[in-house]
Chain A
Amino acid sequence: MSNPDGPMQKHHFLLRRLHSLTGILPIGVFLIMHLTTNSTIAWGGLNGRAHGDGWLDRAIATFQHEVSFINETPLLLLIEITLWASIAFHSILGVIYAVSGNMNNGSYKYGGNTRYMLQRVTGYVGILFIFYHIATLRWGWTWLVPGGVKWSHENAASTLAAALQGSTEQFTEWGLVVAIFYFVGVTMLVFHFANGLWTAAITWGFTISRSAQKRWGYACAALGAGLMVMAWASVVGFATLDYDQAREVEEAMKSGHEPVPQMTDDHTETATAEHSNIDG
């Protein structure tokens, strides 16, 4: 950053604003959608049209339905790549910006300063988490963790449960590590998003007065709390989901009650790719 004519300096303002913008659009908006989809494991039982008799069965079916629906989205790979690029951009600049500061929370124990520190810590951990999440579930790099289970969009709920639990049979020790990592990861990302939304309003100049900042703070906190509940529900839901039960519902859907998306082999790759994003 020291070269005064370098691109970082020349387009300083634009980059800063893009950094802020990408956090909200597309990343933040995607996060909301993603958590909404995933948390169907908790609230999908409400869906009366879903396959299955029990609450949980309907939830599994709703989730599978959603996943399949997304899989059919046209130009999915393009959307995915945009998203990945945005995340990469936001992450790289974020790290550059974050290391330009020096935290001083020991001396100045104010709420705002704590959030400043958390925004950076959650950013760092968030990058690791998103990488792990995409790599294992989307790219199938299951070797990243011992006993990793491949996720499949065709058996969305069951394979996801297995991935979080470490195996299709039981909750393994590595499964516990993964589940906890997921819990921590989603918690941090939700915080990062809600707090980022609050600071973005100051950065862009939407909130100026102290009371406006405070009111917007409550709004962001409410949104964050909502997303947090969805995130936790998703992680807890899948981490406790019985593999066999989920598999049963999924197979039943395939065998007729529910229309199963028709796909050629060519499309399968694309569809799977897209799912990994959505699921984690």
Chain B
Amino acid sequence: MSDEKRVIVVGGGLAGLAASVRIAEAGVPVDLFSMVPVKRSHSVCAQGGINACNEVARQQGYSEYQHFDETLIGGDFLNDQHPVLEMANWAPKIIDLLDRMGVPFNRTHEGFRDLRLFGGSLFKRTHFSGATTGQQLLYALDEQTRRFAAEGKINKMEFWEFLWPITEGEGADKRCVGIVAQDMRTMQIRSFRADAVVMATGGCGLVFGKSTNSIICTGGAASRCYQAGAWYGNPEMIQVHPTAIPGADKCRLMSESARGEGGRVWVPAKKGDTRKPKDIPENERYYILEERYPKYGNLVPRDIATREIFDVCVNEGMGVNGTNQVYLDLTHRDPEYLTEKLGGIMDIYEKFVGDDPRYTPMRIFPAVHYSMGGLWTTYTPGKYQPESPVGEHKPGNPIPVGNEPGLGLTIGAHNNAMTNISGLYAFGEVNFAYHGATRLGANALLSCIFDGLCNGVSVVNYVRDGVPAPASELSQSVYDRAAQIEQDKQDKLLASVGSGKGDHSLNPYVIANELGEEMNAASTVVKTGPRLEKCLAKLDELSERYSRCELGDGAMWTNQSLSFARSVGDMIILAEAIAKAGLLREESRGSHYRTDFPERDDEKFWKASVAKYNESTGKSDIEFMPVKAGLVKLRPRNYGKVDSGTNKEKIPPKQVAEANA
């Protein structure tokens, strides 16, 4: 290994690629690890768009500051405020960069970038490329990565699975100096040196079984860092997307842009109405979101839309034909317009369901979508330090701060997006900082690329000036030991092949299915204390069974069962933190909704829940740490709901319709 300082990036989605390109561009060689060819990373699934203030919105009174403010209220103030400000300020410049990279953003007739409306805003501030924006952005970064790889500046390690971060030193001196990884084809386990490691490994949707996530989104990598001592922030904050197509293998996302382009969510106003959707006249339809939230209508933030759809189906039993489904209706729009703006998702729906959504309303239901929580990270605030937090920002009001870089974060500070372990960074979805208790639609792509571009500079600076000794000078024994530990763990799993005499309940796939069902039932849209306690007990049982699990495949070549079984153990450990933090957060905030504590409790819980792995118990210790705020004052979050909570029975349209029927 050369003496050159190197960086390892784990994960080849938007965050990982943006980071790799930025770091390589600065002259530091990058080893990029990914379980899949990076072009197949989960970022491809993002559909709707990417938010940024733009000239049109700006001239209507919008600003980067308002984008920042919207993100905070969307996240119910659980976000770290400084990084969000910096992100909002960078957003327009990131769009410009993507544009230069060749992303085919939709255009207006004059040739400018087109915009669409998205959840949580009354301004058009979402840039998009058809209905496969994530795919288009990922491809642009994949192309730049390929270019750097061709020049030898990025070394792509595809089909390599991250197994463990290698650290040296203890306590405050603990720092990350490499990783252990495994070639998923040859099954070779080996250690790699690096002066810094960037985790860009995405979310953990598979903990919930069927989600909108890709099959690789187990959260295994984040869980391994957590078990190695990295803190995990806000694990209970899991976004359930209101509109997904239920399926046998996964739930397929139906983008928020469907509502942004005019999609209306409704159910028949008469319970048990079995007529076809088109035969139900306008006045016998109950437009759930429009009637409950006249101001934002169908574009309320996702947690709210999800809860209302859930409420209508599960509590009121008004789902279509008695099932847990509601209509998402675009049939009033021009089919050609839909093809141009939403072709990608129209086709997906048609392929998987068989109906053409241009002519038949889609049938959808909420599904687990995004982890706001992730590895806990820190940062150095920037120049903007108001004397006291600022109240709600309204369009047209003076903007308290400009939009130049360096106001929210100190650009290039070593610790930006760094976990509690020096040299171990968390970028993108696996970074807990940006989205608080709910992520606004079209902010995910932004936070991923922002992390890579902005905090990639921090990684470069840290590697150049912040490491006490280059990783290349460390003793080989550190690395050999780390690889050996992983080898031993694997040997133990492999030894189980054929041990349980075919006990089906010890099959890792069976355990994973039960884990998914349990977590989905206990810890998604609606949570209660007793249910979460039951869930924790179930996790104990699964954990015990997992310790005796029996693999179906002992091959030492491309053994996917082994890889999967390993991640099942990591998912159970992460699930425990998710459930326990949910149990301890005795309030409702954003996506976290407790029927036994239905109100937000800022006094006790305007805090990040931070899970620290306890090696002796194998479980989490949850600590509540104050949210890093100081820029914007807390305020209630209701998006102008007309019937707030207590008098739900008074929803007028339903009764009118029932009387009519």
Do chains A and B directly touch (beta carbons under 8 Å) in the complex?
no
